[in-house]
Chain A
Amino acid sequence: MSSSLADEKAATRQVPDRLRNPLQRFLASWELLLLGVAVAVFVLNSFASPYFLDPWNLSDATFNFTEKALIAFAMALLIISGEIDLSVASIIALASTAMGFAVQLGAETPLLIMIGLGVGLLCGAFNGALVTGLGLPSIVVTIGTMSLFRGISYIVLGDQAYTGYPSDFAFFGQGYVWWVISFEFLLFAVMAILFAILLHKTNFGRAVYVVGNNPVGALISGIRVPRVKFALFLLTGLMSGVAAICLTSRLGATRPSIAFGWELEVVTMVVLGGVNILGGSGTIPGVVIAAFVMGMVTFGFGLLNVPGIVMSIFIGLLLIGVIALPRLAGRLLAARRG
């Protein structure tokens, strides 16, 4: 008996590379579920309004999410790494204010772009330095800078608004590259691909996951954890700067209340996309689908004339819901097993 077992042992101890093939993994994924939700919302919207399926209306609907999604891509990486940035909307305010200020001094579009991106980077660097340099928790740091950055805008602007942006500046938020495809939507698509490659195909992306799952283990494996985190804060700041350019261009004006409350919508988008709020897991395709879902829901509410306050209640419930859902599902499964 024991000799036959010994033979069997030698033959069967090959560990396969993968337990499930890519199709099986896709069928069990959050992304697929979310895709189902997206289709459902799409169908509901087309019933709610006969105008929804018009290409130009669909194109308009994308503006509900493109700017937020640009930040959400970077935020996804940051949350996967175990950090968060709640100051993103305030970075938009500060960047937009800086651009508006420059316009008053006669700055042209190229300079405005540089200012928008530069302010974003500086704010990101400031957050990153506080978190990695002083070892402070990012949630505390960025709640602080959330007030700080927007506070500066209020001091500079009061109840005024900056207007008078150069006419060619309008392209970033109002221009179309081809037929109904807006510049913003193209930017969204390109960034989605770039971020997906960065997170899923590069060594840097791998480091993001490692840091989020076990920062001590990451350090011991030779990953320069503070550097990775600093880079992610920079990236989030930069993308907030990009969003500031698009939004300012679309509105054609800067008020200190610009993008107010967006940080919550961005975080909701990321978490709805399947990123674990505690860090360690999540995908860019998930965030992309979540962006569509949130954009279409907002648009649908608009079609139904639902007031804005209901929308924010909805966002709040959605955020709580998607964070609670995995836990509830786990309990239900455990109860069924027990």
Chain B
Amino acid sequence: MLANTQGIENVHPPVTQDQKPVLSLQGISKSFPGVKALSEVSLELYPGEVTALVGENGAGKSTIVKVLTGIYQPEEGEIAISGVPVTFPTAQDAGKAGVTAIHQETVLFDELSVAENIFIGHAPKTRFGLIDKKEMRQRARDLLDRIGASIDPSVLLKELGIANKHLVAIARALSIDARIVIMDEPTASLSHKEIEETYELVERLKAEGKAILFISHKFDEIFRIADRYTVFRDGQMVGAGKIRDVSEPDLVRLMVGRSVDQVFPDRKPNRGPEVLRVVGYSHPTEFEDIGFSLRKGEILGFYGLVGAGRSEFMQALFGITRPSKGAIRIDNEIAVIRSPSEAIRHGIVYVPEDRGKQGAIKGLPIFQNVSLPSLKNTSKNGFLRLAEEFRLTRDYTQRLDLRAAALDQDIGELSGGNQQKVIIAKWLATQPRVIILDEPTKGIDIGSKAAVHEFMAELAAQGLAVVMVSSEIPEVLGMSDRVIVMREGRIAAEFEGDDLTPERLVRAAAGISEVAQ
């Protein structure tokens, strides 16, 4: 519609012109208090094709997914599958109609096994109507194999890291035989190995003739795997078309309403004295002998595959878990951190990877989330001062372009990316000396990502020391002064300056030595 029609590609006749959509939405609207999340949007999905849905944080992408899976009921509009109008009063109805989804915020059960999580609600039964455990485990194993995940189906879900939990959610979605597969930011918590496997999976689903809706903030993957695109802005559909008819800058402009400078902030090296030194940090099962030194104003990147132990190490550094060995020095003095509150007192803070469980305090308003670790400063003699809390929240969330109905809105009602912005704001507002960021821009849109990076660079220039765990290679390369690569719980390599290249990072993370090439 609004797509760039001047490309040379346009001389090719559209291959799928005669194809009928398997799913079409017409004039769908959905409101929440203070915000019209969707206003008369339409969307079509075609068999054997991947449609990318793009839009800023809070544009309404996940809301449409929830409408399509019977979680939300639209106020207006029509859903049709193969031309037949349908309604989805419950999630089961959507499943029966052949719609399955990997949601952005996965809803899984920590105390159940992986296999039970995959089959909850539709477990295979024995002749007597009992759950057929053996069959269930076998099928779970097949599904996990299919997505290339090496996870034992009989372990409890809580034993898994966040990326593996996400793979379980993918397996769960695929356990339903569906014609329409929706993926809401499926690669947000994965590293390059799992991401490649996800792409392969998408290709296979495509070949099987499934219609795929793929939501992502990563433009490289959109251009790699999508056939079509649809753009949402502020709850409205503002464009749709074929991927080959559009360029990346056009798509960004359509999505944000302006062009976004996608270069990383220009940082002048400004390293001060050492603030943090870690020596021989070890854990019985997760990591071994981690040591490094961090200086004021430095951004130190941590790269590695899923399961390399990066997040586990960061959690130990922040006092959530205890290391079995090792010591740290802060400003050259031995320090012991036994709990997050002690870490915070030392000026070390942590933006966790697990937004839902560890980051957001759902049920509480945005401003109370932001002020929480800063209450000492906003309060007086132990008494709250709401005006100060609002001021702090305004200061820090505005920089990150938060989209919300109001600052007293429950953080749980925000879109995924906006929740992430609140959590970053929460920790930056403590004015820490060392900040550990675990996948800081996960789920954040392209415009806000630039804002986060700029903010990080600015604070580093003022002397903040940053440890950044990221699975996004451009982010690691673009922001870090130095990168440590971890593999299987150990430091595999360290790169700096001209040595910092994507190939080197990937090789070190996978354990392929340089000389072997």
Which residues from chain A sit less than 8 Å from chain B, CB to CB?
2, 5-6, 9, 13, 15-19, 201-206, 209-210, 213-214, 216-224, 280-281, 334, 337-338
Report if A19-B258 is in contact (Cβ < 8 Å); known contacts: A210-B364, A222-B344. no
Q: Is the CB of B341 within 8 A of A209?
A: no
Q: CB-nearest residue of chain B relative to A280?
A: B363
Report if A6-B358 is in contact (Cβ < 8 Å); known contacts: A13-B403, A19-B33, A224-B339. no
Q: Is the CB of A203 within 8 A of B406?
A: no
Residue B253 lies at the interface, judged by CB distance under 8 Å to chain A = yes
A19 to B414, alpha carbons, bound, how many Å? 14
Q: CB-nearest residue of chain B relative to A219?
A: B340
Per-residue A-contact encoding for B102-131, CB less than 8 Å = 1, 0 else = 000000000000000000000000000000
What is the size category of the interface that chain B forms with chain A? 35 or more
Q: Is the CB of A220 within 8 A of B363?
A: no
Report A-chain residues with C-beta under 8 Å of the C-beta of B368: 206, 209-210
Report if A203-B382 is in contact (Cβ < 8 Å); known contacts: A220-B350, A220-B358. yes
Report A-chain residues with C-beta under 8 Å of the C-beta of B345: 222
Q: Is the CB of A220 within 8 A of B382?
A: no
Q: Is the CB of A222 within 8 A of B363?
A: no
Report if A217-B257 is in contact (Cβ < 8 Å); known contacts: A19-B33, A201-B384. no
Q: Is the CB of A18 within 8 A of B340?
A: no
Report B-chain residues with C-beta under 8 Å of the C-beta of A334: 73
Q: Is the CB of A203 within 8 A of B384?
A: yes
Q: Which of B43-51, B204-212, B372-380, B494-502 contacts A (4 or more CB under 8 A)?
A: B372-380
Q: Is the CB of B341 within 8 A of A223?
A: yes
A222 to B342, alpha carbons, bound, how many Å? 8
Sampled A-B contacts (27; CB under 8 Å): A2-B254, A6-B257, A6-B258, A9-B257, A9-B258, A15-B406, A15-B407, A18-B406, A18-B407, A18-B408, A19-B406, A19-B409, A202-B382, A202-B384, A203-B379, A206-B372, A209-B364, A209-B368, A214-B357, A214-B360, A217-B359, A220-B340, A220-B352, A222-B341, A222-B343, A222-B372, A337-B73
Q: CB-nearest residue of chain B relative to A205?
A: B384
Report A-chain residues with C-beta under 8 Å of the C-beta of B160: none
Residue B89 lies at the interface, judged by CB distance under 8 Å to chain A = yes
Residue B405 lies at the interface, judged by CB distance under 8 Å to chain A = yes
A334 to B89, alpha carbons, bound, how many Å? 10
Report B-chain residues with C-beta under 8 Å of the C-beta of A217: 357-361
Report B-chain residues with C-beta under 8 Å of the C-beta of A16: 406-407
Residue B200 lies at the interface, judged by CB distance under 8 Å to chain A = no
A205 to B386, alpha carbons, bound, how many Å? 13
Report A-chain residues with C-beta under 8 Å of the C-beta of B133: none
Report B-chain residues with C-beta under 8 Å of the C-beta of A2: 253-254, 257-258
Q: A13-B401, A15-B405, A202-B384 are in contact. List 5 more A-B contacts (CB 8 A).
A: A5-B257, A6-B257, A18-B407, A19-B33, A220-B359
Report if A17-B364 is in contact (Cβ < 8 Å); known contacts: A201-B384, A203-B379. no
Residue B402 lies at the interface, judged by CB distance under 8 Å to chain A = yes
Report if A201-B383 is in contact (Cβ < 8 Å); known contacts: A17-B407, A210-B364, A214-B361. yes
A15 to B401, alpha carbons, bound, how many Å? 9
Q: Is the CB of B362 within 8 A of A213?
A: yes
Q: Which of B252-306 contact A (CB under 8 A)?
A: 253-254, 257-258
A214 to B390, alpha carbons, bound, how many Å? 21
Q: Is the CB of B406 within 8 A of A338?
A: no
The 8 closest A-B pairs by CB, nearest first: A19-B406, A213-B363, A222-B341, A222-B344, A5-B257, A6-B258, A214-B361, A221-B372
Residue from B258, B397, B405 with most neighbouring chain A CB atoms (10 Å): B258
Residue B473 lies at the interface, judged by CB distance under 8 Å to chain A = no
A15 partner, pick from B359, B361, B375, B404, beta carbons under 8 A: B404
Q: Is the CB of B382 within 8 A of A216?
A: no
Q: CB-nearest residue of chain B relative to A197?
A: B383
- The distance from the CB of B361 to the nearest CB of chain A, in whole angstroms, is 5
A218 to B357, alpha carbons, bound, how many Å? 10
A interface, by DSSP: helix, strand, loop or mixed?
A: helix
Report A-chain residues with C-beta under 8 Å of the C-beta of B402: 15
A216 to B382, alpha carbons, bound, how many Å? 23
A9 to B402, alpha carbons, bound, how many Å? 13
Q: Which of B298-351 contact A (CB under 8 A)?
A: 318, 320, 339-341, 343-345, 350
A16 to B344, alpha carbons, bound, how many Å? 30
Report B-chain residues with C-beta under 8 Å of the C-beta of A204: 382
A9 to B58, alpha carbons, bound, how many Å? 14
A219 to B319, alpha carbons, bound, how many Å? 10
Residue B34 lies at the interface, judged by CB distance under 8 Å to chain A = yes
Report B-chain residues with C-beta under 8 Å of the C-beta of A15: 394, 397-398, 402-407
A221 partner, pick from B73, B361, B376, beta carbons under 8 A: B361
Q: Is the CB of A206 within 8 A of B384?
A: yes
Report A-chain residues with C-beta under 8 Å of the C-beta of B352: 220
Report B-chain residues with C-beta under 8 Å of the C-beta of A281: 363
Q: Which of B238-255 contact A (CB under 8 A)?
A: 253-254
- The distance from the CB of A154 to the nearest CB of chain B, in whole angstroms, is 39
Q: Is the CB of B408 within 8 A of A19?
A: yes
A210 to B369, alpha carbons, bound, how many Å? 9
Q: Is the CB of B408 within 8 A of A17?
A: yes
Report A-chain residues with C-beta under 8 Å of the C-beta of B363: 209, 213-214, 280-281
Report A-chain residues with C-beta under 8 Å of the C-beta of B254: 2
A260 to B401, alpha carbons, bound, how many Å? 57
Report B-chain residues with C-beta under 8 Å of the C-beta of A201: 383-384
- The distance from the CB of A65 to the nearest CB of chain B, in whole angstroms, is 29
Report B-chain residues with C-beta under 8 Å of the C-beta of A337: 73
Report B-chain residues with C-beta under 8 Å of the C-beta of A205: 384
- The distance from the CB of B243 to the nearest CB of chain A, in whole angstroms, is 20
Q: Is the CB of A17 within 8 A of B406?
A: yes
Report A-chain residues with C-beta under 8 Å of the C-beta of B257: 2, 5-6, 9
A6 to B56, alpha carbons, bound, how many Å? 14
- The distance from the CB of B446 to the nearest CB of chain A, in whole angstroms, is 15
- The distance from the CB of A278 to the nearest CB of chain B, in whole angstroms, is 10
Q: CB-nearest residue of chain B relative to A25?
A: B408
Q: CB-nearest residue of chain A relative to B404?
A: A15
Q: Is the CB of A19 within 8 A of B34?
A: yes
Report A-chain residues with C-beta under 8 Å of the C-beta of B408: 17-19
Q: CB-nearest residue of chain A relative to B427?
A: A221
Report B-chain residues with C-beta under 8 Å of the C-beta of A338: 73, 89
- The distance from the CB of B380 to the nearest CB of chain A, in whole angstroms, is 10
Report A-chain residues with C-beta under 8 Å of the C-beta of B373: 221-222
A125 to B352, alpha carbons, bound, how many Å? 33
A130 to B488, alpha carbons, bound, how many Å? 39
Q: Is the CB of B358 within 8 A of A216?
A: yes
Report A-chain residues with C-beta under 8 Å of the C-beta of B401: 13
Report B-chain residues with C-beta under 8 Å of the C-beta of A202: 379, 382-384
